[in-house]
């Protein structure tokens, strides 16, 4: 069983749905704005991290190209590789090579340097872009020399991460069996960072090498938690991850910005708190107004319809009008009161009209059994008794009693087609006994239509008209009644065809007969036809069809189309 809902609950339910939907929309819109706000800064931050990585990659490539060019093309270096070189020549060659180093170091805008090592003389020559103190330079060269000695007898390229005095260096060695060229980059001082920034450098395995700038995240925490994640925005921090492919280094750039604490953003309080609260209050204010405007008039209307007397409801409505503040609601309630009063008046008029129609129908039935018809039947039966024709008298009594029972049924009742055809036979039998005139009655109806319900007397009325007006001298009256199912415009109809062999309807009468009858009016002529047309209209409305015409060779024809499923017409 379908659950019933009241209008008040319906308004409350949809008020909740609309409120929640609007709040979700506002929250979604606010989240989108803040995410876009953060995304724009994150994009800028990603570009900065990418720039740092590209800068380091370019400087590494530049130094490697320089070292390889020395290895292949520099005459001083080629002289230093000669095994039988004299000391004076060796000193002169290292002097010019160091001058070359000095020119390269002066062009470097980052902390680093280039070096040469000769195992035969156990001597290292180097130049740095930002030279440390003399003592620091000596110790740094000693650290480089110790690293180079382990690879000097090989011929290969070596890349190492060198830790020296709390600093991290990239050490590149191009070894050549006793000689080596290389460069050094100080990662701990390489980058120039903005305020509230931290750059953490990891090796290819994710182990932290060094951290530069303000310490915002612990390197160990960042390495285990954030290194494998994509770029993101934390509560306070923007975090971007880039790689330096040539060395397999991983850069993690962290930038702390208080603007990413959304509770410190004015837009948060505006979009997430102030606007939703104001909107919710407005929605419930509108809900209250809607309840007063929509629900109260309907409730007033329902109260009037559920049993209050007109006088009591008028008094109650006057009280409600006085209590209601809104002028429009007072007008609506007053109009509803007037509407209900008019509805009751219309209902009373309807009952009155139905009573008048029933009286008119009863008058029709009274006309159907006129006194002279009844007396004539009694006289005929008396004469037949005098002639001792008992069988005919019995037949006459049966037919008259059947006719009287049939016509005195309820005026709005329906009967089966078989019952109506029995009445037609009884009426024709009464006529033939009364006037001793034969009637050839032909009925063509199969079993599929015999149980169909039709209005009472809808066939007998037209058969009676044929008996009254189609009778001719020296000619046997023939009446044919046909009934069958037909389909018209996808609707099934019961088609009743009544015809005779008389002269047919007068032409001036056909137009009048083919007019519809939607109100009953007493007439002195054609009372039966108008009455049956009116009753068919009451039962079927405009769905039923009646048609009157004459056959080409003479004879009146009446056709009735009744829909298969009748409905109760409510106009009267």
3 state DSSP class of 50: helix
The conformation of residue 164, written as its DSSP 8-state character, comes to E
How far, in Å, CA of 350 to CA of 386, rounded?
A: 53
The whole-number pLDDT of residue 570 equals 44
Residue 499 makes CB contacts below 8 A (sequence gap 6+) with 479, 480, 551, 555, 556, 557, 558
The whole-number pLDDT of residue 441 equals 94
The three-state (H, E, C) secondary structure of 451-509, written as one string: CCEEECCCCHHHHHHHHHHCCECCECEEEEEEEEEEEECCEEEEEEEEEECCCCCCHHH
DSSP percent split of the chain into helix, strand, coil, nearest 5: 55, 20, 25
Question: Between vectors from CA 462 to CA 456 and to CA 463, what angle results, nearest 5°?
Answer: 100
User: Long-range contact list for 269-274, CB < 8 A, 24+ apart?
Assistant: 271/26, 271/29, 271/30, 271/33, 271/34, 272/26, 272/27, 272/30
Cross-strand bridge partners of residue 480: 442, 499
> If we measure between CA atoms, which residue out of 361, 376, 358, 366 comes closest to residue 404?
366
The three-state (H, E, C) secondary structure of 215-231, written as one string: CCCCHHHHHHHCCCCCC
The whole-number pLDDT of residue 102 equals 93
The whole-number pLDDT of residue 310 equals 47
Q: How many residues in the chain? A: 572
> If we measure between CA atoms, which residue out of 414, 462, 466 comes closest to residue 437?
466
Cα atoms in the 13 Å half-sphere on the side-chain side of 144: 33
Question: Between vectors from CA 305 to CA 302 and to CA 308, what angle results, nearest 5°?
Answer: 110
> If we measure between CA atoms, which residue out of 261, 239, 244, 160 comes closest to residue 202?
244
Burial class (CB within 10 angstroms; exposed 0-12, middle 13-18, buried 19+) of 488: exposed
3 state DSSP class of 533: helix
How far, in Å, CA of 232 to CA of 30, rounded?
A: 19
* Architecture (CATH level 2) of domain 409-563: 2-Layer Sandwich (3.30)
Helix (H) or strand (E) holding 355: helix 327-368
Domain residue ranges in the chain: 74-189, 409-563
How far, in Å, CA of 170 to CA of 415, rounded?
A: 112
Helix (H) or strand (E) holding 251: strand 249-256
The whole-number pLDDT of residue 124 equals 93
- Cα 383 vs. chain centroid, distance in angstroms? 85
For the whole model, what pTM was predicted? 0.46
> If we measure between CA atoms, which residue out of 245, 101, 97 comes closest to residue 159?
245
pLDDT digits (tens, 9 = 90+) for 320-361: 444 555 565 667 667 777 777 787 788 777 777 676 566 556
CATH of domain 74-189: 3.30.450
How far, in Å, CA of 181 to CA of 350, rounded?
A: 118
Residues lower than pLDDT 70 in the chain: 1-8, 10-11, 30, 33-34, 37-38, 131-135, 221-236, 258-272, 292-298, 300-301, 304-305, 307-330, 332-333, 353, 355-375, 409-413, 520-527, 566-572
């Amino acid at each position: 069983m379908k659950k019933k809902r009241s209008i008040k609950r319906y308004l409350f339910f949809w008020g909740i749905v609309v409120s929640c939907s609007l709040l979700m929309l506002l929250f979604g819109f606010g989240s989108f704005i803040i995410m876009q706000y953060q995304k724009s800064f994150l994009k800028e931050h990603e570009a900065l991290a990418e720039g740092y990585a590209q800068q380091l990659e370019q400087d590494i490539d530049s130094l490697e190209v320089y070292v390889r060019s020395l290895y292949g093309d520099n005459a001083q270096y080629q002289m230093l590789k000669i095994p039988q070189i004299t000391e004076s020549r060796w000193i002169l060659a290292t002097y010019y090579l160091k001058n070359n180093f000095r020119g390269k170091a002066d062009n470097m805008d980052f902390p680093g340097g280039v070096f040469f090592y000769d195992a035969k003389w156990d001597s290292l020559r180097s130049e740095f872009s930002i030279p440390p103190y003399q003592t620091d330079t000596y110790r740094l060269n000693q650290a480089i020399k110790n690293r180079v000695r382990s690879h000097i007898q090989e011929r290969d390229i070596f890349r190492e991460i060198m830790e020296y005095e709390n600093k991290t260096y990239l050490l590149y060695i191009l070894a050549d069996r006793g000689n080596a060229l290389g460069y050094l980059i100080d990662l701990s001082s390489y980058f120039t960072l903005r305020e509230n920034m931290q750059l953490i450098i990891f090796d290819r395995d994710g182990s932290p090498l060094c951290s530069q700038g303000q310490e915002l995240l612990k390197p160990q925490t960042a390495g285990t938690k954030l290194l494998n994640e994509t770029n993101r925005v934390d509560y306070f921090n923007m975090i971007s991850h880039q790689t330096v492919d040539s060395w397999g280094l991983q850069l993690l750039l962290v930038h702390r910005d208080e603007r990413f604490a959304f509770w410190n953003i004015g837009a948060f309080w505006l979009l997430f708190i102030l606007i939703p609260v104001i909107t919710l209050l407005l929605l419930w204010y509108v809900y209250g107004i809607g309840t007063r405007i929509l629900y109260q008039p309907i409730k007033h209307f329902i109260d009037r319809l559920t049993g209050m007397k007109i006088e009591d409801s008028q008094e109650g409505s006057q009280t409600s009008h006085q209590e209601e503040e809104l002028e429009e609601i007072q007008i609506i309630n007053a109009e509803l009161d007037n509407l209900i009063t008019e509805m009751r008046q219309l209902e009373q008029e309807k009952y009155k009209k139905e009573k008048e129609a029933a009286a008119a129908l009863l008058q029709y039935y009274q006309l159907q059994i006129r006194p002279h018809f009844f007396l004539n039947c009694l006289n005929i039966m008396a004469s037949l008794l005098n002639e001792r024709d008992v069988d005919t008298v019995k037949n006459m009594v049966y037919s008259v009693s059947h006719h009287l029972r049939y016509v005195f049924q309820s005026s709005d009742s329906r009967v089966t087609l078989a019952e109506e055809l029995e009445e037609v036979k009884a009426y024709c039998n009464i006529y033939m006994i009364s006037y001793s005139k034969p009637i050839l009655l032909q009925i063509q109806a199969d079993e599929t239509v015999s149980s169909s319900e039709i209005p009472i007397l809808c066939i007998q009325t037209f058969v009676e008209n044929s008996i009254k007006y189609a009778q001719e001298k020296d000619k046997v009256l023939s009446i044919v009644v046909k009934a069958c199912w037909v389909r018209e415009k996808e609707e099934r109809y019961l088609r009743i065809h009544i015809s005779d062999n008389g002269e047919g309807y007068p032409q001036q009468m056909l137009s009048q007969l083919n007019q519809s009858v939607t109100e009953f009016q007493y007439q002195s002529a054609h009372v039966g036809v108008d009455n049956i047309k009116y009753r068919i209209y009451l039962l079927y409305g405009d769905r039923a069809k009646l048609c009157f015409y004459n056959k080409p060779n003479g004879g009146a024809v009446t056709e009735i189309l009744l829909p298969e499923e009748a409905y109760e017409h409510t106009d009267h």
